[in-house]
């Protein structure tokens, strides 16, 4: 069992990095690996819980929440969160936490592999 | 946990997006944690445009100063410079030109890599 | 443990350039990385993978060479576990 | 106010970003306002990759259907196809190949242009 | 005096389209032109009023608010707003309104020039 | 009224290709568009402008040819008003 760190700098929708980041995490968790995400830059938009779109049942935030439910750790860069007006992540799905680059440094120290998307 | 050596690559031109400066902020963040990771900064492809001496460093100067204090300089790939007709005389003083083979050595030396 | 290059666009070409010279390189094309010309990699003897879903969505089944092995996320995670990840995505 | 002819260009490969489908949603929106603007859809550069017949159109089919009902088809620039070694036989049935000169005529004919 | 429409699909921070869009609007308003913005896709992130960043006095939302104060009209795509969890733009700066693509069609009809960024 | 091509990256090259063939084209390089090679445009006799601030920030004063006229947003708005805008930004 390995610890896989994932740095995600892409937001939901506009670019599809978030989807690959989630798909890798899902597959890794299913194999029993530990997965730790750091959401940086536009990556911090992903866990906003009020996302809705006509005809779409599963939104990016739902995928984030599923990752948490399966045991993934999620920390978002607080400076990026507040720059984007997300007020400390107050509307984040449960389990998506706000921290800072020191948390990312810790993930770098802990992880066996780091994937950046 | 443990100290690691991190290679951060910069692949985009400066100013159309914020990766050129937020990548440096991340570099500072990574090196100032309790594990005291070390970093190399490698400019590849279009990223080498950041190494031009006349680039406005208003947004990035403080990160570069912090990193310079840890003896971290900017490494630019020679082949990328040549492809863009950028002469070494056009580069800033804190830029070191490395060959693609040396870039590859940096990859091999790193425990983890991050791309911006 | 080889160097596993994870390659997407717009700057995945930088990773490809390095992987061509890296005799210990394995390359995985993800997302728009599947549009990259990998003939140089194959010519240099590198193993190249592509995420199957990313090839299919883009309608590239007949355009991405058959020497490029299609993989799912399950296999991608195994590759990530077994190698050092070199990120260009 | 008034009816206008709008040229919408598509310049990015499908799927790495949402412009390929959100540009089509905008095309539908622009043509369904009270002014009843008309549109041309022009695929240029990397954008021509959307015109491959095997591209998954799950996200875009409904917009294309609406536009097709208004006799709007997909125009792909010949030079862009050639640069990418894409043969006409690889294209979807609703794609019309136009030369760069014809693309230029579409620009001249348009009142406004939008790029995605 | 002309009416200039601006379609902005880029968000604040990550890419700099928003800045060019604002700079063009500022210059156009100073010359007495009418300026009408439609924020589409990630463009809808620009007017979120709680943006803050250490050492930065002027945030993208401040530039948006200045445009409004100078007479620019601003409409954001409601579907994009809700997709991104911004709840009908409830945290938007004053004067930034939420509408839909029919509003963009109207801008296309009204404008003498359309700039897309 | 000419066609005013507003050109940025990543796909401004598509606009440049058209403008080279468009005898009625005027081109403005904005943001990363200032990195584009415009020798074909100049060679074809097109007037090319670049946003001064975008050239300066990127340290390209000596690299963007002097045949490319530097302009501010004030002049850009005048160009937008006087011409049909062809967007590639």
pLDDT at position A44 is 98
* Range C63-72 average pLDDT: 98
> Taking CB atoms and an 8 Å limit, are F21 and D107 in contact across chains?
no
Residue B76: beta bridge partners? Answer: B43, B97
pLDDT band, very low/low/confident/very high, at D1 (cuts 50, 70, 90) = low
pLDDT for residue D34: 82
State residue D21's pLDDT score: 97
What's the pLDDT score for residue D108? 97
Average pLDDT over residues E92-114: 97
Select from D15, D52, D55 the Cβ nearest to the Cβ of C32: D15
- A9 contacts in B (CB within 8 Å)? 19, 22, 116
pLDDT digits (tens, 9 = 90+) for F7-45: 999 999 999 999 999 999 999 999 999 999 999 999 999
pLDDT, tens only, A61-117:
999 999 999 999 999 999 999 999 999 999 999 999 999 999 999 999 999 999 999
Chain C residue whose CA is closest to A114? C85
Q: Which D-chain residues 32-61 have CB contacts (< 8 A) with chain F?
A: 44-47
Predicted confidence (pLDDT) per residue in D67-110, tens digit: 999 999 999 999 999 999 999 999 999 999 999 999 999 999 99
Cβ contact, residue pair E113, F85, below 8 Å? yes
Question: How far is the C-alpha of A22 from the C-alpha of A27, rounded, in Å?
Answer: 9
User: Is residue E94 a contact partner of residue E65, using CB atoms and an 8 Å limit?
Assistant: yes
Q: Closest partner residue to E113 among F8, F80, F89, by Cβ?
A: F80
Please count the other Cβ atoms lying within 10 Å of the Cβ belonging to residue D98. Answer: 19
Q: What is the 3 state secondary structure string of chain F?
A: CCEEEEECCCCHHHHHHHHHHCCCEEEEECHHHHHCCCHHHHHCCCEEEEEHHHHHHCCCCCCCCCCCEEECHHHHHHHHHHCEEEEEC
Average the pLDDT over E33-60 and give the result: 96
D52:C60 CB<8 A: yes
* Number of domains chain B is built from: 1
Instruction: With CB atoms and an 8 Å threshold, state whether B107 touches C18.
Output: yes
**Whole-prediction pTM value?**
0.97
What percent of chain D has a predicted confidence (pLDDT) above 90?
95
Residue-range definition of the domain harbouring residue B14: 5-115
Residue E14: its chain B contacts at CB < 8 A?
A: 17-18
> In chain C, which residue's Cα lies nearest the Cα of B105?
C22
Percent over 90 (pLDDT), chain B:
95
Is the Cβ–Cβ distance between E40 and E8 less than 8 Å? Answer: yes
Q: Do F11 and D101 touch (CB under 8 A)?
A: no
Complex ipTM, two decimals?
0.96
Q: Do B52 and F61 count as a contact with CB atoms less than 8 A apart?
A: no
Decide if pLDDT at C50 tops 80.
yes
Please check whether residue C50 is in contact with residue C24, taking contact to mean a CB–CB distance below 8 angstroms: no
- Does D46 reach chain E within 8 Å, measured CB to CB? no
CA distance linking residue B87 with residue B94, whole number of Å: 15
Q: What is the pLDDT of residue B33?
A: 79
The structural domains of chain A, ordered by start, are 3-116 (3.40.1260.10)
Superfamily for C3-88? DsrEFH-like (3.40.1260.10)
Is the CB of residue B18 less than 8 Å away from at least one CB of chain A? yes
Q: What is the pLDDT of residue A55?
A: 80
Cα separation, F14 vs F62, in Å, equals 25
Q: Do B37 and A41 touch (CB under 8 A)?
A: no
Q: How far is A110 from chain E (nearest CA, A)?
A: 28
pLDDT band at E54 (very low <50, low <70, confident <90, very high): confident
Interface C:E, ≥3 CB–CB pairs < 8 Å: no
* pLDDT tens-digit series, residues B7-46: 999 999 999 999 999 999 999 999 997 888 999 999 999 9
Length of chain C: 89
At B1 the pLDDT is 59
Q: CA torsion sign, A63 to A68 to A74 to A76?
A: positive
User: Which CATH number do you get for residue D105?
Assistant: 3.40.1260.10
């Amino acid at each position: 069992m390995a610890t896989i760190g994932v740095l995600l700098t892409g937001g939901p929708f506009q670019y599809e990095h978030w989807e690959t980041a989630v798909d890798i995490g899902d597959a890794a968790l299913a194999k029993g690996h530990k997965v730790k995400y750091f959401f940086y830059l536009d990556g911090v938009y992903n866990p906003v819980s009020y996302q809705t779109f006509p005809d779409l049942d599963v939104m990016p935030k739902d995928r984030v929440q599923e990752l948490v439910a399966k045991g993934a750790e999620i920390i978002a860069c607080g400076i990026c969160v507040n720059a984007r007006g997300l007020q400390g992540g107050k509307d984040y799905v449960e389990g998506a936490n706000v921290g800072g680059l020191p948390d990312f440094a810790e993930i770098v120290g802990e992880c066996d592999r780091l994937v950046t998307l | 946990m443990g100290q690691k050596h991190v290679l951060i690559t910069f692949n985009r031109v400066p100013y159309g997006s914020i990766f050129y400066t937020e990548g440096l902020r991340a570099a500072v963040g990574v090196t100032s944690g309790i594990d005291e990771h070390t970093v190399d900064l490698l400019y590849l492809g279009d990223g080498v445009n950041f190494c031009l001496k006349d680039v406005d460093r208003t947004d990035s100067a403080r990160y570069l100063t912090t990193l310079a204090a840890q003896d971290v300089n900017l490494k630019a790939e020679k082949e990328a410079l040549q492809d863009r007709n950028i002469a070494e005389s056009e580069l800033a003083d804190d830029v070191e030109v490395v060959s693609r083979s040396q870039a590859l050595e940096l990859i091999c030396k790193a425990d983890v890599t991050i791309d911006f | 443990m080889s160097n596993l290059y994870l390659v997407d666009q717009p700057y995945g070409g930088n990773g490809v350039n390095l992987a061509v010279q890296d005799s210990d390189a394995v390359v995985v094309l993800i997302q728009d990385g599947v549009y990259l010309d990998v003939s140089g990699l194959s010519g240099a003897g590198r193993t190249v993978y592509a995420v199957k879903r990313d090839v299919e969505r883009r309608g590239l089944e007949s355009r991405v060479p058959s020497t490029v092995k299609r993989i799912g996320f399950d296999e991608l995670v195994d590759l990530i576990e077994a190698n050092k990840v070199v990120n260009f995505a």
